[in-house]
Amino acid sequence: TRRSDSLLRKNVNKLTLGEAKNLKQALRELQNDRGPGGFEAIAGFHGAPFLCPEKGETKYACCVHGMPVFPHWHRLFTVQFEQALKQHGSIVGIPYWDWTAPGRALPPFLTDDSHENPFSTYFITFAGQNITRSPLNALFSANTSGGNTILYDLTLDALEEEDYCHFETSLEFLHNRIHFFIGGTGTYSMSTLDYSAFDPVFIIVHSGMDRLWVLWQ
């Protein structure tokens, strides 16, 4: 992405009313786009419906986990969503969620469904299922040592690493905890590789992951 094409990524809790409305409208249009550049088509490159071929006729998920290029792959994936939203009229980048800040619930931007908020849910057409969220208390609870939350401490651990390999491992561990803490035990949720990218919270989380990589650098 050329610098001139870049959009500003803001804290999701600091979006103006106009920015929030704009992003929701762009996502709504993207979700209704059934073409190769639509929401479901892009999300499908992460897990199900398994679009990447291997030897023989078997196909696998395209995403990369447990490898040093985990941040790189997901940065490009997030940008792909961001550019698609821009094509549907967004004027700001994908906002990030600062999970180190005090809180007792997911940001209202992601959960308020009073106006058919496209960030609060999604029906996966090919699976015939709605995404689910079952946030666990661990998402906001303090660590056993007291004081900071689990996610705060895991974020700090990652940022304090001095070499890339250790940072990447710590970042991915943090990432895995966030996915599970949001999705709970649901199959069509952030907890499963197959369907996590269909929950709009996915791109908000990965915008935050990308931010941490920049901060570490």
Query: What residue ranges do the domains of the chain occupy?
Result: 3-216
The label of the residue with tokens 């490009």 reads 76
29 has pLDDT over 90? yes
Give the C-alpha separation, 208 to 138, whole Å.
Answer: 18
Distance of CA 33 to the CA centre of its chain: 20
Give the C-alpha separation, 130 to 132, whole Å.
Answer: 6
* Count of other CB atoms within 10 angstroms of residue 162: 7
Residue 56 confidence class, pLDDT cut points 50, 70, 90: low
The CATH classification number of 3-216 equals 1.10.1280.10
What average pLDDT does the chain have? Answer: 91
27 has pLDDT over 50? yes
63 has pLDDT over 60? yes
57 has pLDDT over 70? no
Looking at 38-52, 66-80, 140-154, which range is the least confident one? 140-154
**Strand pairing of 59-60 and 123-124?**
unpaired
Task: Provide mean pLDDT across the span 48-73.
Answer: 82
2 has pLDDT over 50? no
186 has pLDDT over 70? yes
pLDDT at 55: 65
Please give the backbone phi and psi of residue 84, each rounded to the nearest 5 degrees, phi first: -65, -40
How would DSSP label each residue in 125-145? TTTTEE------GGGTSBPTT
DSSP code, position 109: H
Residue 1 confidence class, pLDDT cut points 50, 70, 90: very low
Strand partners, 127: none
- Structure-token pair, residue 112: 């308020």
Task: Provide mean pLDDT across the span 81-103.
Answer: 95
Looking at 31-45, 69-83, 91-105, 132-146, which range is the least confident one? 132-146
Q: Mind listing the pLDDT tens digit for each residue in 98-156?
A: 999 988 889 999 999 877 899 999 999 999 999 999 998 888 877 666 678 999 999 99
